[in-house]
Amino acid sequence: MYPELQALEDQLDAAQRDAEAVVSGLGEERGRWRREAGSWSISECLDHLAITNRVYLKAMRPAALHAREKGSKRRGPAVPGVVGGFFVKSLEPPVKPSRRGRAPRNIRPRTEPSLAEAFECFLQSQDEVRVFLRENEELDLAKIGFRNPFVPVIRFTVGTGLEIIWRHQRRHLLQAERIKQSAGFPAG
């Protein structure tokens, strides 16, 4: 695997380890606990990540398939372009209050999903991202464009989309860890 793609896969692995650490020893009650009304629980953070992974994959798959059909071969590393790079950096924790907002409707978590189910969905979505990465590693991921699934007038490269996935995961796994550290979090 190419170095930058291996780095992406390493980040997916790190996110999975972080998720495992967050849920370790939690029961359903603690996994569904919220700091306050309207905030997300740990299970909702994981559910949101699984849903977001799948929405991005759904947007990127047709572009990758089209590129494969055209015979598009890798010519360089899969790194974000200028606009994509700006967006990717905006996802890095700590997130500025001005960059926080409501998740788009199509990636909001289900209300109070079970922790076990949300975690399993997250793990499955991670595997789907890894498969996508491996199936398309020979394509020119830095040149294949797809429409942003939330703002269709913006186009990203598939390489940017893959970067967004793991950085978005890091953001919400930190959120989940902060929930565990909150005053009032139920004792185990």
Question: What's the rounded mean pLDDT across residues 139-161?
Answer: 92
SS3 28: helix
Note the pLDDT tens digit of each residue in 60-85. Answer: 999 999 999 999 898 888 888 777 88
Largest CA distance in the chain: 56
Distance CA 56, CA 63 (A): 11
Q: What is the pLDDT of residue 95?
A: 67
What are residue 156's phi and psi, to 5 degrees?
Answer: -120, 165
CATH code assigned to 3-31+39-181 = 1.20.120
Note the pLDDT tens digit of each residue in 74-117. Answer: 888 888 877 788 788 877 777 666 566 788 888 999 988 999 99
Distance CA 93, CA 120 (A): 25
Residues 6+ apart with CB under 8 A from 186: 29, 30, 33
pTM for the predicted model, two decimal places: 0.92
Residue type present at position 53: N
Run of H or E including 14: helix 3-23
What are residue 107's phi and psi, to 5 degrees?
Answer: -125, 15
SS3 89: helix
DSSP 46: H
Task: Judge contact between 140 and 16, C-beta under 8 A.
Answer: no
Nearest to 139 by CA among 168, 162, 164: 162
Task: Judge contact between 46 and 122, C-beta under 8 A.
Answer: yes
Q: What is the pLDDT of residue 25?
A: 94
Question: What's the rounded mean pLDDT across residues 34-48?
Answer: 95
Looking from the CA of 25 toward its CB, the CA atoms found within 13 Å total: 6
Residue type present at position 27: G
